[in-house]
Structure 1
Amino acid sequence: MNFDLTADQAALQERVHAFAQAEIAPRAEELDRNGVFPTELYQKLGEMGIQSIPFAEEYGGMGLGIFEAVLALEQVARADQSLAVSAMVSMATGLTVARFGTEEQKSRWLPDIVSGKKTCAIAGTEPDAGSDTGGFKTLATPGADGSWKLQGEKAFITNAGTDISSFAIILAVSSPRDAESKKFTLFLVPNGTKGFTQGEKYRKLGWRSSDTRPLYLDACEVPETAIVGKPHGGRWVLHKGYQAARLFLAACSLGLAQASLDHAIAYAKERQAFGGPIGRLQLIQEMVAKMALKVDSARLVTYRAACGVDQGKDDMMALSMAKLHATETASEVANMAIQVHGGWGFMDDCPPSRYLRDNRVTTIGDGSSQIQTLLIARECGLDVRFS
């Protein structure tokens, strides 16, 4: 497979890279330290057109592919993974609405998401259930007039409580309590809906400027028109949304891994020890060479998966490999970059220190590394069961 970029793709990549290094990277440490969602910076991404890349032109999008979205997210994450994750969650959620929502939902909610004026959230995870979607307990009870009443709690939700948060798509159990098997329905719930509240922000190891908090649904009533996809078919739709998020998260880890390598190379050239730059020492050279190999291999599997999506392939193995390999690789490379930096690498003002903290959650969210490993084994034809 040829991954040589077209002239347009290369121009997009360079444009986002230049913006990210000029506007985002210099602020990344401050944003991490203060832990405040950077609304104006997020909306600048929108002005750049980054959130619009994979959406149809009728909703204000560029009409490009998932591959181009991956290229852009990689460059944003190379400057600040926390901001890139905020963008990718909104993008993945919006794509779920674009693919499965009604025309009314798409025309009403997508333009602000596509333009980057607003953010949105995908809310599946609960305090007692994450990858095990069958364990979700949030209930959707139908009313006589076609409305639904939502009751429950969601946990670890990104983008739900910023000052520009628009809506969340929420998965709830919609089958009767005595049903033999659970069925789920996905609902689009706007912020400000009565009975839908956002909890306090979590204190986190990383992604500190990305908004993450619990959501509470207390007799939250929504109309039938809030359903995304078909009634009782929400679990499948949510999984499709997670598949997009996994690929975008791989891109975010890839960007962070590249940034770790960038900093390690620069530091190895400038740090003087034992009579010269440490980059002349063979064990430092070995670490940098290993880092370069890991980054390039992660890029290959991520780009391959993105190209497959654009070609219409439903390749679960490629998606899981990209998510597993890129996220695990980024943590390894960030850790090695800290080693190259020595004592300074342990300090908060050393970027690889932040990279290691930020990337830690990528091997957990949107399907943990263990879940991705099982999915790959299942695609290899082994008898893998999740219950």
Structure 2
Amino acid sequence: MVNIQNKPINYPLSEYIERLESGGALLPDTPENLLEVVGILKSYGVVLDAYSKNLIYIAEHQFFVFFPFFKYFNGDFSFKKLLRHWWHDRINFEYAEYCMKSMMWHGGGGLDKYLDSTEFKERAQAVIKAKFKNNPIITGVNQLFPDFLFEQLRVSAYTTGLGQFWRVMADIFLTLSDRYDQGEIKSIPDVVDHIKAGLVADASKPITYSVKIRDKVYDIIPKSVGLTFLADTAIPYVEAVFFRGTPFHGTVSYNAKAYQIPPDQSRFQYGALYADPLPIGGAGIPPTLLMQDMRHYLPDYLHEVYRRSRRGEDDLRVQICMSFQKSMFCVTTATILGLMPNPLDTQDPDEQKVNRVFIQKWLDRLKTSRLEDVNDQTNFCLVALPRSV
């Protein structure tokens, strides 16, 4: 997904404020949108399950491995898997690392703050000493470059943090699909409520990180630090991946004189909510890897919709990206409603005013997003089919 400086939204924001206040979503509630969103989140859930397992494996078993050639094998290496890896008949775990690096670069949340703390440095120093006590070369390098190994552990901490976040989200999306199959999910607001309930239920889930060196376990992020799923991984993820993102090489000029990249990271608008789906499939576009992964796990009912579109499967990754973008506006809606300062159904005028200001701030950031596009059905070439159960 590549941002191409989308035009500002030319519809009244009051329409979306009223829709959210009445329990609706940023995405219109239509049978076609419901089928697309649930179907694509089913595929996404399967992929996130694989991503999360690999990220957690890398953090726990590949930390301080400076040339991790086999990190994508999850400890189960074979020559058959290696051949499939070289042939790219595999999950593209590189995209998971791209998202991790985006989170780490943009920062934010308690995890980012903790990794700059004295406590983290003390715990990291203990791990470094234990790991390399018999390695004079690495010990010497660490003395010459005292931040090198600390930075390696920071990367590992973000790796496990994203892995634990995606572990929760994968379960939310897969149970959403199960409930849809059972006839319990019948509308876009039902999708939003399901996601919001999952976010709230796991909001206080602790984010921890421990590694084992020889026979001793070292806590790098102990539970006592107080890092939690929602505040310290979910919100920073939304900020880094949904909103800001990173500009992709070959799509914009990195020349400062061209002014195509804002000098301030907080003004970045390259995230999933702003991205143009059409360049998907181009070389060097990281989300292409995600779309390629999801195409292997599409539910039959959604795959059939894509086959019946104007171009059939010739632009399958683009169609997947369009559906995925719709689903991310549903996740964004769930985030907005979940973080609402006061109950949505409050009758207190002051609380209603606070809620409206809160919603307005979110919508102000979405003015140049693709919100208008996902609300304009003429921009989508999918042909909805009745689903056979």
| TM-score of the alignment, normalized to the shorter chain, above 0.5 | no
* TM, length-normalised to structure 2: 0.30
**Structure with larger RCO (C-alpha < 8 A, sep 6+):** 2
**Structure whose residues are more often strand by fraction:** 1
* TM, length-normalised to structure 1: 0.30
